[in-house]
């Protein structure tokens, strides 16, 4: 009689799975956080229009007793249009996989598709802001490049610019765990930075930068918040805006997006903010060999107040 050892067993028996899937290293999604959120109604056309009234001239001259009325003013408003666009991706799952292990496979593939969609939302928003917002080069650093690394004077200049433009700070906050304007710091603008500038921010500790761990009430800080400086709360992400070899000396330039409230808007569409689509193998091909799992969404974006957003371009100190 032959002896059966582990070498005689098939490959499926030679392996066993851990009870849970390992996490997927995923970048933080920052650009969606300070954006205003608007939904276009279903069957509401292809364009979302925003209206912003202009200021009237303050009446600073006395009327006097002549009885002559000053000329009337004409109320005016500006229109800002955003065109809706559709995006999507799909995964093909073999019929035999689904027959053997349907629920777990569909569950983790659905989870990956959902994150890919949210990541796409953030990347589309990031690239739009890079192409449309005004840029200020950091020049208060000492690395001899253009732009330089971040300095306190650079944040001061951008904050002064936004204040002069009468931009709104985040005071009312966003309900839930991602709250702005809470107890750690006073009402502030938001700065969306790259994780690769964190070492430069750490170099400013003692000169105005406060790490999130030094907040009086750290529990109320947002998950992606790294710290604060002057009138800015700083959030970092590994997929923040940057351009390789774009500085004067060939360094990577990081575009630290400094925004006030209502600076830009993210628009989705009712019924299309995320649509998960499953097609049985019977409907996906002539031989019914594969199932399809897909995600589709509608999105648009607009800078609704261009004076309330600036890209602070910087490089690393070394």
In CATH, the architecture of 36-54+74-123+267-303 is: 2-Layer Sandwich (3.30)
Cβ atoms 279, 273 nearer than 8 A: no
> Quick check: 11 pLDDT over 60?
no
209: tokens are: 């930068």
Tell me the domain boundaries of the chain. Answer: 36-54+74-123+267-303, 140-263+304-314
Region of poorest pLDDT, from 143-152, 194-203, 276-285: 276-285
Residue 263, pLDDT score: 95
Residue 6, pLDDT score: 55
> Quick check: 43 pLDDT over 90?
no
Confidence of residue 166 (pLDDT cuts 50, 70, 90): very high
Residue 83, pLDDT score: 94
- Tokens 């999130």 correspond to 212
201: tokens are: 């921010």
Residue 20, pLDDT score: 75
Residue 310, pLDDT score: 96
Q: Where are the alpha helices (DSSP H) in the chain?
A: 95-132, 152-164, 198-202, 281-284
Phi, psi dihedral angles at 304 (to 5 degrees):
-90, -10
Cα gap 62→137, rounded to integer Å: 45
What's the average model confidence in pLDDT over 208-221?
80
CA distances to 91, 104, 111, 173, 305 from 98, rounded to whole Å, are: 13, 9, 16, 45, 49
14: tokens are: 């030679």
Cβ atoms 84, 47 nearer than 8 A: yes
CA distances to 52, 56, 111, 272 from 108, rounded to whole Å, are: 44, 56, 5, 22
């Amino acid at each position: 009689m032959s002896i059966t050892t582990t070498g005689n067993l098939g490959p499926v028996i030679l392996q066993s799975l851990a009870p849970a899937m390992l996490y997927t290293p995923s970048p933080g999604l920052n650009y969606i956080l300070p954006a205003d959120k608007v939904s276009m109604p279903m069957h509401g056309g292809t364009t979302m229009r925003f209206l912003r009234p202009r200021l009237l001239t303050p009446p600073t001259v006395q009327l006097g007793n002549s009885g002559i009325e000053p000329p009337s003013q004409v109320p005016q408003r500006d229109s800002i249009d955003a065109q809706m666009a559709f995006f999507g991706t799909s995964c093909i799952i073999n019929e035999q996989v689904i027959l053997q292990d349907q629920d777990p496979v569909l569950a983790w593939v659905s989870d990956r598709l959902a994150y890919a969609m949210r990541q796409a939302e953030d990347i589309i928003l990031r690239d739009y802001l890079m192409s449309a917002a005004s840029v200020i080069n950091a020049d208060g650093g000492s690395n001899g490049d253009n732009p330089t690394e971040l300095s306190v004077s650079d944040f001061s200049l951008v904050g002064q610019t936004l204040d002069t433009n009468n931009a709104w700070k985040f005071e009312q906050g966003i309900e839930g765990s991602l709250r702005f304007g809470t107890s750690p710091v006073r009402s502030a603008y938001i700065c969306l930075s790259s994780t690769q500038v964190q070492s430069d921010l750490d170099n400013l500790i003692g000169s105005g930068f406060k790490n999130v761990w030094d907040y009086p009430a750290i529990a109320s800080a947002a998950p992606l918040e790294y710290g604060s400086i002057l009138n800015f709360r700083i959030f970092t992400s590994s997929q923040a805006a940057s351009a390789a070899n774009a500085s004067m000396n060939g360094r990577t330039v990081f575009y630290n997006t400094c925004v006030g409230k209502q600076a830009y808007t993210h628009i989705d569409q009712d019924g299309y903010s995320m649509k998960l689509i499953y097609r049985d193998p019977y409907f996906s091909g002539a031989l019914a060999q594969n199932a399809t799992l897909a995600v589709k969404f509608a999105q648009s974006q607009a800078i609704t107040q261009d004076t309330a957003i600036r890209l602070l371009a910087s490089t690393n100190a070394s």
